[in-house]
Structure 1
């Protein structure tokens, strides 16, 4: 199991849009990271206006030498226009590219749901907390990368 020290810092890049959802994702991610041994002060939240801004800030944060890993969290909820599709596809594509090229582990945590109820269910409701799941994914990546190096 990977051991964490006072230098292990995790960045959460979080969309402020739909913050009723993203605030809950942050809580889930933070709790999981702290339970794994990462200090609360070392879980650093970078808030961006919306999901579209997540990839740029995630890229910049991933280049900060003190940051050990990045979790991206957002919620795009389908509305009456095609905006949902364009944002979801653009952000997903950019984060996939960034994840492959980033110098540190980066985890995708963008909820894309048809309605607010589905989003709430995935942010601590009956479908679990995707923020917590993303934190667990990051912890697994740390473990795997430690084995490979």
Structure 2
């Protein structure tokens, strides 16, 4: 990586925060070994729908090498949660495309989530795993970004 001290924004939706925050835990734990010297700045938003706009604003600051966003979007029985989930993923992708800063999603949309001990335990563990996987994905993209920067320097010379 060109930037030996990358700065990463991590956005956390507050709906089901007890579960969603485990993605942050998994990310930071894995990043310690995968992305040494990374500065990870957490940000909270009310829900998943607010994540893409904040991701874009953070990316536009020029201070971040990557943005990660985590949420648990569940079927509340009133609206189609799949529409929210699709809007969030599309919004994060658009934020990355418009700013050139990679944006990652650790947003899960289970079809069957109930606030039982069994489901809570399952998704808590799953978010830890997904957070760690996101750290690996960020590492891989930062390495790729570094390689692309080196290609630009060679072609400019």
SS at 1:67's partner residue?
Answer: coil
Match of 1:145 in 2: 145
Work out whether 1:102 is the aligned partner of 2:99: yes
Question: How many Å separate the matches in 2 of 1:72 and 1:118?
Answer: 22
Unaligned runs of 5+ in 1: none
User: How many residues in Structure 1 have an aligned counterpart in Structure 2?
Assistant: 145
Match of 1:131 in 2: 131
SS at 1:78's partner residue?
Answer: coil
Computed over aligned residues only, the root mean square deviation of the Cα atoms, in angstroms, reads 2.2
Residues 86-126 of structure 1: CA deviation (Å, up to 9, x unaligned): 2112112211212222222211221111215667535424x
Q: 1:30 aligns with which of 10, 22, 28?
A: 28
Q: What pairs up with 1:22-61 in 2 under 5 angstroms?
A: 22-39=20-37, 42-61=39-58
Provide closer, same or farther for how the CA distance between residues 38 and 44 of structure 1 changes in structure 2, counting only shifts above 3 A.
farther
Question: How many Å separate the matches in 2 of 1:12 and 1:120?
Answer: 22
Deviates more, 1:78-87 or 1:47-56: 78-87
Question: How many Å separate the matches in 2 of 1:39 and 1:50?
Answer: 29
TM-score, normalization by structure 2 = 0.80
SS at 1:96's partner residue?
Answer: helix
Question: How many Å separate the matches in 1 of 2:36 and 2:57?
Answer: 22
Structure with bigger helix share is 2
Unaligned runs of 5+ in 2: 150-157
Provide closer, same or farther for how the CA distance between residues 80 and 133 of structure 1 changes in structure 2, counting only shifts above 3 A.
same
Say which one has the larger Rg. Answer: 2
Structure with bigger strand share is 1
TM-score, normalization by structure 1 = 0.84
